[in-house]
Each structure stands twice: as C-alpha cells, then as structure tokens.
Amino acid sequence: MFLFRMLGTAAGGGVPQWNCACPLCTLSRSSPHLNPPRLQLQAIVSGDGEGWFLLNASPDLRAQIESNPELQPTPERGRRNTPIRGIVLTSADLDQVLGVLLLREFQPLPLYATALVRKTLEANSFFRMMHRVPDQLTWVEITPGQPFALGDSGIQCTPIPLEGSLPFYARDLDTGEHGQASIGLLLEAPASPESKARRIAYTPAVPEITDELRAIYSSCTDIFVDGTFWSDAELSNTHTGTPLARAIGHVPLSGDDGTIALLRAVHLPRKIFVHINNTNPILDLRSPERCAVVEAGWHIANDGWQLD
Ligand SMILES: [Zn+2]
C-alpha cells in the first residue's frame, strides 16, 4: 500500500500571506473560490494507513494534524500516542523545520536528515527542547543516493542530492558539500493487492533541472515538483528589493529555460506542482498562466490532494 497526501501546498507564508496585500492575496481573502487559501507545504506518506511519516514539518502542522483524523492520537492507545512515525527533512529552511518544534511534547520521534541539516538544527538552542528526555528525538542521518527504509512502512526512500545552501540564519555553518543542504526524495513502494507499484519524486525546491534530475523524473510514476514561481522576476515585481527566483533556488515555471519547457519530454500520467508562492499567477483559477500549466499536462496540487 502507498498513501500520499498533501496537507499544505503553499510556499513559505501560505496563501494569503499575513502581511501581503498583493492582488493574489487580496483575491484569496475576498474571493476564496477564485484563489483558495493554502497552508504551508506539508506532505504525508504511509505504507499501511496506520502509521504516517511527515515529509518536512510545516509551521501550520498543528492545524494540519487537527484537520486530518489519521494523524491524531486515539484514546484506545492511552493518554499519549500518535500515528506519526517520523519526519524526513529535505532542508533546514524554517518553513520545513518549524513544525518539528511544535511536536516537542516529550513524544519519541525519529527525525531523518542529512548530517549538515542535523548539525544546523542542533546548533540552534530552540532544538534543545527536543532533547529533554532520552528517547525524545532519534536522529537518523541520511546520505544522498543511499536508500533507507521509512520505518516498517515498506516504503523505501532515497535522498536526491540537489544544489543549495543553508538558509540565511545558518549561512556560517555551510560546508558547500553537494546534496547536504537541500535534497529531494525518491519514494518507492512495491505493488500490493491494493495498489500498483509506485516510484515518486518529491522535490519541492528545485534550483536547477540537471540531466540527472530529468533522468530520475523520467523513471518515476509520479513527480511532485517545485512550483514556487511562474517567472524569475515575479517576486521582485511584486515587492521591490526582493531577489530573483533563481537566486533563491527555484527554477521558474515559464520561459524556454523554465520547468515546463525543460520537462516537456518527461511523459508521466501525473506531473504535479507543489510549493506555490502567493505571488504565482497560477493560483488564480481564471488566469492564462494556470491554463498554460494545465494544457502542458501538469496538475496543480491543492491542500488535501492525494494520490489514489
Ligand atoms: Zn501576496
């Protein structure tokens, strides 16, 4: 069995973003049917429907747990329990790790991360709250290219090395080693009576579409890809003084050197954009940009979207 669900599909800040009055955030507040609100990025995966693994840990995690009964504790299992079996981190970005701190109630949890991401989080004093009792957090170091089992879920996970540096708050810790600061995840599950074999790439931050990455995508059954920005200058056009998309590690969707063009030859039943920034015009259900994405054979995940 392989269950995969998106509980949040927005980039950092969500849709709408708290301090943003751009046309898209304003549309989401005034006409949510035209630009549905989105929580910050969160995916969950399960091999049996009983235990779940979090792919990163969103700042919106508490709300995401409370709106998904599968993630909630059950009284039959005692006063303290959780079906959450562990967390896999793809970077040390605050948008991907803040939710770990929300799960700090002395609850034992495995945390899968590269050595550099582990070092970054352990250097932050907030994370000492995750080590107040001996078995609270169990670090599992993962290495790009080396498969590991997601607990006893039957799902195999392989970190995909990506370019990328540590976030601003931890720049002085960066070693520059390829694939340590930012990874994608390749998730594989064999066929079962309930579902066919799956091979899924989960890459919410793609700084460059290399031949290696394109080859991985081509070998998959489904791919979840960085849909942060439509164009390189989108952020700077909306908010003066902000960087270009590529400068902060996101290939934009449009243009001859954009994601849609570069992955046109990757033919899969499902190519799905996730991690959509509140400046991205594909959020507006009426926009020509959204039509172009759909016509190019892509799906745009919304909160609650799941593989079936
Ligand atoms: Zn906005």
Tell me how far the alpha carbon of residue 14 lies from the centroid of ligand 1, in angstroms.
Answer: 9
Which protein residues have a CB closer than 5 Å to ligand 1 (ion)? 20, 22, 25, 278
Residue pLDDT tens, the chain, 308 long:
899 999 999 999 999 999 999 999 999 999 999 999 999 999 999 999 999 999 999 999 999 999 999 999 999 999 999 999 999 999 999 999 999 999 988 889 999 999 999 999 999 999 998 888 888 899 999 999 999 999 999 999 999 999 999 999 999 999 888 899 999 999 999 988 877 899 999 999 999 999 999 999 999 999 999 999 999 999 888 888 888 999 999 999 999 999 999 999 999 989 999 999 999 999 999 999 999 999 999 999 999 999 97
Please, which residues bridge with residue 219 across strands?
Answer: none
User: 267 in helix, strand or coil?
Assistant: coil
Q: What integer pLDDT is reported at residue 132 of this predicted model? A: 87
192 CA → ligand 1 middle, Å: 43
Task: Give the Å distance between the CA of 29 and the centre of ligand 1.
Answer: 10
Q: How far is the CA of 25 from the centre of ligand 1 (A)?
A: 4
Q: In this predicted structure, what is the pLDDT of residue 269? A: 84
State the pLDDT at residue 236: 85
Report the separation in Å between the CA atom of 133 and the middle of ligand 1, taken as the mean of its atom positions.
41
Kindly write down the DSSP assignment for every residue of 218-258, as one continuous string. HT-SEEEEE-S-SSTTHHHHHSTTPPPTGGGT---SSSTTS
Amino acid 211: pLDDT: 96
Distance of CA 84 to the CA centre of its chain: 17
17: left (phi over 0), alpha (psi -120 to 50) or beta: beta
**Three-state secondary-structure class, residue 81:** coil
Q: Is the dihedral of CA 114, 174, 184, 83 positive or negative?
A: positive
What's the full length of the chain, in residues?
308
Domain definitions of the chain by residue range: 3-300
- pLDDT for res 258: 98
CA of 30 to the centre of ligand 1 (A): 13
What's the pLDDT at 94?
95
pLDDT confidence of residue 37: 98
Gap from CA of 38 to ligand 1 centroid (Å):
12
Pick the closest to residue 179 from 164, 161, 201, 166 (CA basis): 161
Query: Which pLDDT score is estimated for 106?
Result: 85
Write the CB contacts of 31 (distance below 8 Å, at least 6 apart in sequence): none
- Are the C-beta atoms of 266 and 217 separated by less than 8 Å? yes
pTM above the 0.85 mark?
Answer: yes
Fold type of domain 3-300: Metallo-beta-lactamase; Chain A (3.60.15)
Ligand 1 centre to CA of 289 (Å) is 17
298 contacts 271 by C-beta, under 8 angstroms: yes
